[in-house]
């Protein structure tokens, strides 16, 4: 397995906190995360996102330092790479595609069909197996179990942030610890 661990990153409820937090979100070192609003034009209209500057900075740093290979895994689809990323000064990471050849559910449990993100992540990992992180506010225990069962030999860090504040400093620490433990060429 060559390359940095994958990080399948959802937008809404993970990167984009909604509603924006009303209380200060503190990191382990006692620093406060600062949230800002950004207006993002997309192929279907304009949206306001609330993002923590510190989270965005960490994502960019993890990418630049080669610690994570980030993949957008979001209903934003190509708009994440084409519109959101430049608005947040992030790279245009690849996008996990919606599996058009399957009948899929928009959210876990909405139908008996598989959740589209399980299929998208699984196909990505089938094509290029590596340890992986999946952060999504809709990640259920059943979905986590299914991903682990499909990819038994791959270490995984599966986190379900609360939509507000989104990914927390503690969860980011957990992701960074996982990425360090499974760095390219490592475990």
Count of H-run helices and E-run strands, the chain: 6, 8
User: Higher confidence at residue 142 or residue 101?
Assistant: 142
Yes or no: say if 109 and 118 are a contact pair by the CB < 8 Å rule.
no
Rounded average pLDDT over 76-89: 96
Q: What is the reported pLDDT for 179?
A: 97
pLDDT at 96 over 60: yes
Q: Distances from the Cα of 172 to the Cαs of 68, 78, 100, 112, 151, in angstroms?
A: 12, 24, 32, 32, 23
pLDDT more than 70, % of the chain: 91
**Per 3-state DSSP, what percentage of the chain is helix, strand, and coil (rounded to 5)?**
30, 25, 45
The pLDDT value given to residue 21: 83
- Mean pLDDT over 82-106 rounds to 87
Q: Which CATH architecture has domain 6-181?
A: 3-Layer(aba) Sandwich (3.40)
CA distance 58 to 175: 11
Q: What are phi and psi of 28, to 5 degrees?
A: -55, -35
Strands 25-26 and 69-72: unpaired
- Count of beta carbons in the 10 Å neighbourhood of residue 148: 13
Average pLDDT of the residues in 9-37 = 87
User: Which pLDDT band, with edges at 50, 70 and 90, does 112 fall under?
Assistant: low
Per-residue pLDDT of 127-186, as tens digits, reads: 999 999 999 999 999 989 999 999 999 999 999 999 999 999 999 999 999 999 998 755
Query: Is residue 158 a contact partner of residue 31, using CB atoms and an 8 Å limit?
Result: no
Lowest mean pLDDT among 31-45, 58-72, 117-131, 146-160: 31-45
pLDDT at 109 over 70: no
Whether 58 shows a pLDDT value over 60: the answer reads yes
What is the pTM assigned to this prediction? 0.91
Model pLDDT, residue 114: 72
Distance CA 187, CA 181 (A): 7
175 close to 9: Cβ distance less than 8 angstroms: no
Q: What pLDDT is recorded for position 106?
A: 63
Token code pair at residue 110:
């909405």
pLDDT at 20: 84
């Amino acid at each position: 397995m060559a390359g940095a661990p994958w990080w399948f990153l959802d937008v809404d409820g993970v990167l984009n906190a909604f509603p924006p937090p009303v209380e200060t979100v503190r990191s382990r070192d006692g620093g406060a995360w600062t949230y800002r609003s950004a207006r993002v034009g997309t192929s279907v209209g304009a949206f306001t996102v609330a993002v923590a500057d510190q989270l965005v900075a960490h994502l960019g740093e993890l990418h630049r330092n080669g610690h994570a290979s980030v993949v957008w895994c979001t209903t934003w689809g190509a708009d994440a790479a084409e519109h959101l990323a430049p608005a947040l000064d992030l790279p245009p990471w690849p996008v996990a595609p919606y599996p058009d050849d399957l009948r899929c559910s928009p959210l876990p449990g909405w139908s008996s069909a598989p959740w589209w993100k399980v299929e998208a992540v699984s196909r990505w990992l089938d094509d290029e197996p590596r340890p992986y992180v999946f952060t999504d506010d809709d990640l259920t225990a059943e979905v986590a179990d299914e991903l682990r069962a499909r990819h038994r030999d791959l270490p995984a860090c599966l986190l379900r942030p609360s939509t507000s504040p989104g990914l927390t400093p503690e969860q980011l620490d957990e992701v960074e610890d996982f990425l360090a433990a499974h760095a390219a060429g490592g475990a």
